[in-house]
Amino acid sequence: RHAAPWYLAGLRLWLALALVVHAGWLALPEPQVLLPLASFAALPPASAALYALLMLAGFAMPLVSLLAILGLQGAMLMGYGAGLPLLAMATLGLFIAHGSGRASIDAVIAAWLQANVLRDAKPGMVPDDWPHVVIVGGGFGGLACALALRRLPVRITLIDRQNYHLFQPLLYQIATAALSPADVAIPIRQLFRADGNVRVLLGEVDRVDAAQRTIGFGGNALAYDYLVLATGATHSYFGRDDWAPFAPGLKRVEDAIAVRAALLGAFEKAESCGDPARARRLLTFVIIGAGPTGVELAGAIAELARHGLEHEYRSIDPADARVILVQAADRILPAFPPELSAEAAHSLERLGVEIRLDARVTGIEAERVLIGEEAIESETVLWAAGVAASPAGRWLNAATDPSGRVTVDPCLRVAGQGNVFVIGDAAASLGWQGK
């Protein structure tokens, strides 16, 4: 990382010296075995002199190198020269891939652009008159917004109740002991350490005053010029919040760790309980909801039971575990094309997962799940059936859909509030056909 730019600068000087000699501007004693004169034998002296000046200055080296390769190879194909040897093309290719190096005009131009156009400012260089953009939420939406704006002349404050970005699609792998929590949690501050116009705050926002253009979090107030709410969604039990203690969802690292403890604990309890009836209940895992999270959980638990824990127990066989996937719709993964749903169902069934379609949960208790009138004995139930948006709509007193998502225009703006945007799972954005 440190040596390569200087190596490129030295390489430029070496090639420039060869071009100067080839152009006849400099005479060196024979033999000149250390200069790649043969590589440029087909280059006219005038062109060699121009290339030498550009290489010495380190100006537009990727373009200059590309033109040299294409020009000499094109001349060879037309019968006007010998072209470039392969080693010379590979050497020029270094400049195409990595630029001119540190001691070059290109580096000076890049530094100027960075300071004056790209606005990669140091903390003490950020003017107070730059617009203040407050982004609430460090998930996919909030992080993408901050990364896209960080090189513009704006001040950015990113607020999240955690100081890390969570890659939620892999939470199920933590829940099934395939990954460590550190594998899916990226410190937010680390991503913006070189961006002096980005400030990261730890806090949970609880109010928005659109009239005063302020937000509140933990007793603090913060003024904004533009507000982006990327507050995501949480579990929805469809009005049955009393089920939550018996059927945890999977939205946070803490949820995944708790689910992992429950899953592995079920096998441990079944090994030691000495009661076949309770062991069967412990080894019955019910996942409610067959969207992506439910399908991934069901497959991962089945793989864990049949392969990951093989030969590790003496009183039980983990492969005897029942994994039941319950879906209220007529197919799993209803947001996907039917042929993909069918293929996924086939894959799950090969793993031994029982799929219950058109099945509605009517009750969840500590040791059983009611599906219609049927009772399934289980001590481990996982919820993946539905989500509800964050309270952003209530903060803004804005129109929402039945799931609580804020209705926004095609630019993701809140109606009547041109400087407030809602993005991601918190937004109800209508597409081209109003869907």
Domain assignment of residue 121, yes or no: no
Same domain, 375 and 401: no
Total tally of structural domains belonging to the chain: 3
Give residue 11's pLDDT. 87
Q: What CATH number does the domain containing 315 carry?
A: 3.50.50.100
Q: Are residues 102 and 147 in the same domain?
A: no
Instruction: Say if residue 24 is in the same domain as residue 58.
Output: yes
| Calpha distance 291→293 (Å, rounded) | 6
Domain stop point among 53, 81, 112:
112
Angle, in degrees to the nearest 10, between helices 45-57 and 3-23: 150
Asked if residue 122 belongs to a domain, the reply is: no
Residues designated as active site = 296
Q: Are 309 and 263 in contact (CB under 8 A)?
A: no
Q: ∠ CA(297), CA(165), CA(208), 5° rounding? A: 110
Residue 434 forms part of a structural domain: no
Q: Which of 69, 86, 112 is the last residue of a domain?
A: 112
Position 354 in a domain? yes
The 3-state DSSP class for residue 299 equals helix
199 and 301: one domain?
A: no
Sign of CA dihedral 115, 119, 122, 128: positive
Q: Report if residue 196 sits inside a domain.
A: yes
* pLDDT attached to residue 121: 61
- Whether 246 and 353 share a structural domain: yes
**The pLDDT of residue 104:** 87
What's the alpha-carbon Rg for the chain, to the nearest Å?
31
| Sign of torsion over alpha carbons 322, 346, 184, 420 | negative
Q: Indicate whether 269 and 328 sit together in one domain.
A: yes
Closest listed residue to residue 9, CA positions, set 63, 47, 61: 61
The percent of residues above 70 in pLDDT, for the chain, comes to 95
Q: Which residues pair with 205 in a beta bridge?
A: 217
pTM for this prediction: 0.70
Tell me: the pLDDT tens digits for 204-233? 999 999 999 999 998 899 999 999 999 998
- 369 inside domain: yes
Three-state SS annotation for 206-248: EEEECCCCEEEECCEEEECCEEEECCCEEECCCCCHHHCCCCC
Indicate if 209 and 100 belong to the same structural domain: no
Please tell me whether residues 296 and 398 are part of one structural domain. Answer: no
pLDDT digits (tens, 9 = 90+) for 249-298: 998 999 999 999 999 999 999 999 999 999 999 999 999 999 999 999 99
More confident residue, 260 or 67: 260
Do residues 407 and 274 share a domain?
A: no
Annotate 391-405 with DSSP letters as a single string.
Answer: THHHHHT--B-TT-P
Residues near 215 by beta carbon (within 8 Å), at least 6 away in sequence: 134, 136, 159, 205, 207, 208, 209, 221, 222, 224, 227
What pLDDT is recorded for position 41?
Answer: 75
What is the CATH classification number for the domain harbouring 196? 3.50.50.60
pLDDT for 93: 87
Examine residue 61 and state whether it is found in any structural domain, yes or no. Answer: yes
State the pLDDT at residue 117: 59
The pLDDT score that the predictor gives to residue 378 is 96
195 and 254 within one domain: no
Tally of CB atoms within 10 A around 165:
21
Same domain membership, residue 186 and residue 223: yes
Domain that holds residue 220: 127-235+389-429
Which one of 81, 112, 143 terminates a domain? 112
Same domain assignment for residues 198 and 326? no
Arithmetic mean of pLDDT, 406-428: 93
Q: Is residue 214 part of a domain?
A: yes
